[in-house]
């Protein structure tokens, strides 16, 4: 972890965004980075949206079943209240948070905290999802991950929804979604 002192001897914070489609390894990468934070004996708080109970009500769990303790929150402003005296804040499924998540992340970084955020950059229609585009705009570091298209084997950047129901937010796993490349997702929608 790079904590460089500024001219006043204080830590400088930053924002890292891990984005991509479903099944691309975003949560896996978030967990990997947070485990390294713990190895470095840094204090971290980890958050997820309370609505995401797909694998566990409290833990962040990857599709590969790696997991880490987290605190579910209903509103992003609660992160500011709960992230006191920490070096690092991890946030999973950021696309499900309210509009204030960008302000929360910026506030944390200005306090000298490293913020690691993971989330879907596009919805099932290939449209920008939630506040991720705004987080990408203010991020210091961006990691874009790709899955493999289940139809053709190319890189996948679309979380293709296999059923034609629900709005933009429709929680599901492999039973409702599959990774597809841009072309295979478009062919199915014609």
Specify whether the CB–CB gap between 116 and 151 falls below 8 A.
no
How do beta strands 44-49 and 88-91 pair?
parallel
Q: Angle 178-184-188 (CA atoms, 0-180°, nearest 5)?
A: 85
**SS3 for 117?**
strand
Catalytic, 188? Answer: no
Cβ-contact 123, 159 below 8 angstroms:
yes
Catalytic residue (one of 93, 106, 173, 188): 93
Host H or E run for residue 101: helix 101-110
**Which of 94, 101, 107 minimizes the C-alpha distance to 76?**
101
What is the set of active-site residues? 93
């Amino acid at each position: 972890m790079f904590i460089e002192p500024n001219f006043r001897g204080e830590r400088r914070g930053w924002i890292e965004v891990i984005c991509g489609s479903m099944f691309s390894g975003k949560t896996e990468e978030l967990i990997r980075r947070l485990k390294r934070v713990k190895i470095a004996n840094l204090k971290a708080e980890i958050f997820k949206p309370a609505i995401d109970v797909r694998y566990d009500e409290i833990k962040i769990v990857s599709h590969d079943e790696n997991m880490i303790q987290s605190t579910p929150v209903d509103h992003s402003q609660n992160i500011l209240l709960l992230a006191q005296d920490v070096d690092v804040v991890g946030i999973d499924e950021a696309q499900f948070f309210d509009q204030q998540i960008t302000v929360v992340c910026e506030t944390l970084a200005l306090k000298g905290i490293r913020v690691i955020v993971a989330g879907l950059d596009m919805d099932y229609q290939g449209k920008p999802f939630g506040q991720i585009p705004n987080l990408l705009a203010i991020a210091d570091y961006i990691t874009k991950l790709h899955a493999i298209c289940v139809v053709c084997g190319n890189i996948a950047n679309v979380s293709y929804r296999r059923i034609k129901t629900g709005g933009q937010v429709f929680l599901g796993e492999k039973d409702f979604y599959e990774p597809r490349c841009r072309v295979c997702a478009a062919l199915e929608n014609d």
